[in-house]
Amino acid sequence: ATVAQSILGVKPVHNSILRGDAWIVELLDGHPSRMYNNLGMHKHVFCQLTRDLRLRGLDNSRSVSTEEQVAIFLYI
């Protein structure tokens, strides 16, 4: 913990140690506000967007799932 965190009791907002698909699963299975706060949309909208993009040809790459590709785009 940093000095400020120790003194002020401040906790980081984005503190997940997960990466890649594990982060996506955490967002999908976690509290609904986490998905909205991280990606700017609700879970059902994210899932529908991912389905629509798959139908239009977006596919998993060798190491990155479609869901992760969409999440990276939205997170930036």
Give 53-64 pLDDT, tens digit per residue. Answer: 999 999 999 999
Q: What is the pLDDT of residue 20?
A: 81
Give 4-45 pLDDT, tens digit per residue. Answer: 666 666 655 556 667 788 899 999 998 899 999 999 999 999
DSSP the chain: --HHHHHH----S------THHHHHHHHHS-HHHHHHHHSS-HHHHHHHHHHHHHTT----SS--HHHHHHHHHH-
- For the entire predicted model, the pTM comes to 0.74
Domain boundaries, the chain: 16-75
